[in-house]
């Protein structure tokens, strides 16, 4: 999270998709979140975006 290690988790593979769900947390807006894959040099990153308050719907 923004260049700092936050947690270690094991993802589930379904076909070509790897997925994992963290408990809800407030990461804020414009926070870079990255995942690295054990045994690989690959890393995937994305930046959080504010999309409005969906909880009130």
Taking a C-beta distance cutoff of 8 angstroms, is the pair 37, 52 a contact?
no
**pTM, 2 dp:** 0.59
Distance, CA of 41 to chain centre:
17
Token look-up 């809800």 returns: 24
pLDDT for 8-48, tens place per residue?
A: 888 888 898 888 877 777 778 888 888 888 888 888 888 98
């Amino acid at each position: 999270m923004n260049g700092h290690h936050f947690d270690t988790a094991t993802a589930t593979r379904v076909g070509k998709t790897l997925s994992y769900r963290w408990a809800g947390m407030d990461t804020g807006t414009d926070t870079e979140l990255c995942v690295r894959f054990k045994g690989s040099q690959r890393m995937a990153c994305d930046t959080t975006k504010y999309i409005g308050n969906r909880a009130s719907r």
